[in-house]
Structures are given as C-alpha cells and as structure tokens.
Amino acid sequence: MILGAYLDTPYNLVLLVHIAAMFVAFAPTLSYPFGRATHSMQVHGTALALGGLLGFGVSGMSKVGDELVFEVKDGWLAAAVLVWIAMNGVLHALILPGEKAIAEGDESGAQKRLLGSQIMVGLLVVAVYLMVFKPGT
C-alpha cells in the first residue's frame, strides 16, 4: 500500500512536517547568540531526530509509478544523511553538554555551546544546499 506518491497531498504533508521539524530543531541554535536561554533535549534533539527520520519518509514516498524520484543511494541524499548524523553528533557532544554546564552555573559551558552552534549552522547551510541543488543528479 502506498501512502502517497511524489507531490501528492500525503507526500507534501510529510515534507511540510519534515521542514517544520528542522526549523524547530534549529531555532535554539540560530537564536543562541542573541540570548542565554537553554533549550532541552526534549525540543532540540527530538525535533532534529524527527526531522531527519521524516526525510527518509519523504524519500520513500517520492514514487512516480514504480520508480523512486529520490533514493538514499543518490549521492546528494547520502551526503545529507551523513550531515544529519554529524548534526546529531554535534548536538550530543557540544551543545547539550554546554547547556547542561550553563544550567549548573558553569560559564565554561558557554564556549562549548557557542562552538556547537557555529558548527550546526555550518552543517545546516550544507544540508540546505544539498536539498535545494541536489548536486550530482
């Protein structure tokens, strides 16, 4: 059973939620330089995981007839998966520990959090480039 085909309403809904989840995932990262508020794993990490997993759904629902329009084996999409994995690594290695340290009153966590935010923004730019231009197709 196909839940939706490329550009059908179910496909577009999954794509919309995928994009919205990534906006939610990156809102704390992009706003961090302007404030000191910490954001928990419940929002940041969950949205990043959900956004990436929905990306797999978008790929799997991109059928025209029996052919997939987007396959994870496509170079640009495989690169996007690697970028998503790297984003999760940065989140867990730098951002969340930095936020925890800040919440405990340790100001040294701010440097770790800032570095993580800067790396995440760079990875976001790479991911958006891959999604928009789909190099190699």
Phi–psi pair at 64, nearest 5 degrees: -120, 105
How many angstroms separate the CA atoms of 132 and 126, rounded?
Answer: 10
pLDDT digits (tens, 9 = 90+) for 103-112: 899 989 989 9
Q: Give the confidence band of 2 by pLDDT, cuts at 50, 70, 90.
A: low
Phi–psi pair at 71, nearest 5 degrees: -125, 145
pLDDT at residue number 88: 95
pLDDT at residue number 1: 47
Q: Please indicate whether residue 73 or residue 26 has the higher confidence score (pLDDT).
A: 73
